[in-house]
Amino acid sequence: MHLILFLVFAAFCLAGAINLLLQTHPINSALSLIVVMTSLAVLYLLLGAEFLAAAQVIVYAGAIMVLFTFVVMLLNAGREERTRGSVAYGVIGFPAVVAILALIATVFLHTTGLGDAAMSNNITTTQELSTVLFTKLLLPFEVTSVLILIAILGAVALARPHDAERTARK
Amino acid sequence: MTILQFFLWSLLKIIVVTVVLLLGVAYTVLLERKLVGRIQNRWGPSRVGPFGLLQPLVDGAKSFLKEDIIPTAVYRPLYLLAPIIALSCALISIAVVPFGSPAVEGPGGFHIFQISDVNIGLLVVLGITSIGVYGIALAGWSSNNKYSLLGSLRSSAQLISYELALGLSLVGVVLRAGSLNLRTIVESQARHGLLTWNLFGGFQFVAFFIYLMAAYAETNRSPFDLPEAESELTAGYHTEYSSMKFAMFFMAEYANMIMVGCVATLLFLGGWTSPFGNLIPLPQNIVIQALLPIFWFVLKVFSFLFLYVWVRGTLPRFRYDQLMNFGWRYLMPLAILNIVATSLWLAYK
């Protein structure tokens, strides 16, 4: 059962990702990305990470992608133009991608202590997850939140009208 | 319990719940038309059947028989997909709602009054609701019409803004129950009936009012129904839709209202439990014992829907900038304050 679900949703995920690259219209690409994210959520669920799955749907598919489509709609972005592509990208690009993937795979395979994840009926409850987050991983967790705070402050600073503009508005 | 049994039971429950929900949708429309009619000092539909009770059936037949017009300039794939997304997201989330007492079990320990009992039930509801935005957003964009586009832009912005306040207002309740499971949340309020409901005993009435207002905005209902403000935008995002496709948006809106009512009932009004707690002893008859919780649940959802219609018949529509200001500058800080206050109180206890 787990294997069947995994195969189905992994296929969905890959199909969505390929479709994202092939589509010429930004809205279609955005929608394919949503398919990718929701299928990823199902894969998380198969690994027993229910909170992560829900957060994936609510935050990525439900909030961030809505903003993406919102911007696409607001700017009324049209179809993107197909170019022939440069020959150099074709020649260098594919070997480079293969090389990077190989590098990442080697690093992962040789690192010890990553622990393993298996598809199972065991579910990590929200309680267990938060216990780990707020005891063992407290520092990284808080540092991440500071990082997000910095991003928010940056956005506010960028969006704020400059002094000259503000006096002009008055 | 074998897998086959599980599938058959689940299928049966899904069919029954969907049929009841769709009937509920049809009669909520009638309730609204009758009630708004009385508020405006007229009768509302009264010709078909006794008291106009068969009106929803006739309305349904009418939308089926209307000509389905697809304008030439629409972006077809998304134009056709949008009402399906809207309606299916509105119908799916009912799957995690427990309607009746979990003590009533079918053969093999099977829960009769809930399609599936999920640990993170509340998050599932929020997640599915947040996907539902795409129905409206894509409908407006793919229609290739300025009113539709404006309606859907307004709607996406409004839904994103109010989803924050909505989610944050629920955190207080989750903190008190210590769980995201809807059944556990209800059981945490069951001890003394009305007095231990989150609305009264839990001092979550601030959260309740935030939820109420955010929910009106989330379901695009008056006084926050700007995405379909007919005086400015013709009909907003569904201007170009006709026949059954329009009816699907219509059904989605009412199904969402019912869902919001269910969540409010479960989280703030004690779900299926009786408001009198244990004051009135349960009758010995097992059928009544099973059906009484459902009666309380339906009554609570009904009163919530009544309130919806009442508000619609009473309050004028907000202006768009007022809506945004209200959401971000008042509702959200208030919701955050509520979380801080609730957690401080729980830590002190």
Query: So what's the ipTM on this one?
Result: 0.77
- The pLDDT confidence band at residue A69, using thresholds 50, 70 and 90, is confident
Phi, psi of B108 (to 5 degrees): 80, 25
Locate the chain B residue with the closest alpha carbon to A64: B160
Consecutive H or E run containing B298: helix B286-314
pLDDT for A99 equals: 92
Structural domain includes residue A28: yes
Let me know if residue A63 belongs to a domain: yes
The secondary structure element, H or E, covering residue B25 is helix B3-39
Residues 6+ apart with CB under 8 A from B210: B165, B166, B168, B169, B331, B334, B335, B338
Tell me the C-alpha distance between B166 and B144, whole Å.
Answer: 31
In chain A, the number of structural domains is 2
The position carrying tokens 């700007």 is: B226
Non-local (6+) Cβ contacts of A24 within 8 A are A79, A80, A82
Residues of B in contact with A42 (CB under 8 A): none
Search chain B and give the residue with CA nearest A73.
Answer: B141
Residue B229 contacts residue B236 (beta carbons within 8 Å) = yes
Residue A84 token pair: 């022939």
CB contact under 8 A, B130 and A34: no
Provide the pLDDT confidence category of residue A150 given band limits of 50, 70 and 90: very high
What whole-number distance in Å separates Cα of residue B122 and Cα of residue B93? 10
Task: Write the CB contacts of B110 (distance below 8 Å, at least 6 apart in sequence).
Answer: B1, B9
CA distance B323 to B312: 16
- Of A80, A107, A123, the position where a domain reaches its end is A80
> Both ends of chain B: CA-CA distance in Å?
43
CB contact under 8 A, B141 and A51: no
Nearest CB neighbour to B156, from listed A27, A54, A70 = A70
d(CA B302, CA A149): 42
A141 shares a domain with A71: no
* Chain A positions in Cβ-Cβ contact with residue B136 (cut-off 8 Å): none
Angle subtended by helix axes B243-268 and B146-177, to nearest 10: 20
CB B71 within 8 A of CB B240: yes
More confident residue, B149 or A100: A100
Q: Collapsing DSSP states into helix, strand and coil, what is residue B45?
A: coil
State what percent of residues in chain A have pLDDT above 90. 12
Cβ pair B140, B153 in contact under 8 A: yes
Cα–Cα distances in Å, from B315 out to A27, A72, A166, B222, B307? 37, 34, 37, 8, 12
Q: Which residues contact B218 (CB under 8 A, 6 or more apart)?
A: B129, B159, B162, B163, B166, B256, B260
A88 or A12, greater pLDDT: A12
Decide if pLDDT at A147 tops 90: yes
Residue of A62, A73, A123 with shortest CB distance to B127: A62
Query: Would you say residue A15 lies in a domain?
Result: yes
pLDDT at B1: 64
**Side-chain-facing half-sphere of A68: CA atoms under 13 Å:** 17
CATH number at residue A35: 1.20.120.1200
A4 and A69 part of one domain: yes
Domain, as residue range, for B239:
3-348
Report pLDDT for A102.
93
Domain that holds residue A149: 137-170
Structure tokens at A59: 């935050």
Instruction: Give the distance, in angstroms, between the CA of residue B259 and the centroid of all CA atoms in the same chain.
Output: 2
Tens of pLDDT along chain B (349 residues)? 677 887 888 888 889 888 988 888 988 888 888 888 888 888 888 888 788 788 888 888 888 888 888 888 888 888 888 889 889 988 888 888 888 777 666 666 677 777 777 888 888 888 888 888 888 888 888 888 888 888 888 888 888 888 888 888 888 888 888 888 888 888 888 777 777 777 777 678 888 888 988 888 888 877 877 767 677 777 777 778 877 888 888 888 899 989 989 988 888 888 787 777 777 777 777 777 778 888 888 898 999 889 888 888 888 888 888 888 888 888 888 889 988 988 888 888 7
Which residues does chain B have within 8 Å of residue A27's beta carbon, measured at their own beta carbons? 78, 138, 141
User: CB-CB: which of A61, A74, A126 is closest to B131?
Assistant: A61
Residue closest to B227 by CA, chosen among B87, B88, B133:
B133
Q: Is residue A14 situated within a structural domain?
A: yes
- Distance from the Cα of B157 to chain A's closest Cα (Å) equals 8
Residue A158 identity: L
The mean-pLDDT minimum among A9-18, A19-28, B104-113 falls in: B104-113
Considering only the beta carbons, identify the residue of B119, B127, B160 that sits closest to A66: B160
pLDDT at A15: 92
Shared domain for A2 and A69, answered yes or no, is yes
Angle between helices A138-159 and A126-134 (to 10 degrees): 90
Residue B189, classed as helix, strand or coil, is coil
Residue A64 to residue B117: CA distance in whole angstroms: 28
Interface test with A, best of B117, B130, B171, B181 (most A CBs within 10 A): B130
Are B335 and B165 in contact, with CB atoms under 8 Å apart? yes
Element (H, E) at B105: strand B105-106
Residue A70 in any domain: the answer is yes
Question: Rounded CA gap, B117 and B273, in Å?
Answer: 17
d(CA B186, CA B199): 12
Q: Examine residue A23 and state whether it is found in any structural domain, yes or no.
A: yes
Mean pLDDT of the A24-38 span? 86
* CA–CA separation, A93 and A155 (whole Å): 34
Q: Going by C-beta distance under 8 Å and a sequence separation of 6 or more, which residues neighbour residue B336?
A: B168
CA B104 to CA B112: how far, in whole Å? 7
Q: Rounded to a whole number, what is the distance in Å from the CA of B44 to chain A's nearest CA?
A: 38
3-state secondary structure of B111: strand
Assigned domain for A107 exists = no
Decide if A58 is inside a domain: yes
Q: For residue B195, give Cα distances in angstroms to A9, B93, B189, B257.
A: 46, 29, 9, 26
* Closest CA–CA distance from residue A107 to any residue of chain B (Å): 35
Chain A: nearest CA to B237, how far in angstroms?
13
Residue B55: in which H helix or E strand, if any? Answer: helix B55-65
Domain count, chain B: 1
Question: pLDDT grade, residue A101 (50/70/90)?
Answer: very high
Interchain CB contact of A27 with B (< 8 Å)? yes
- pLDDT in the model for residue B3: 79
Task: Kindly report the pTM of this predicted structure.
Answer: 0.84
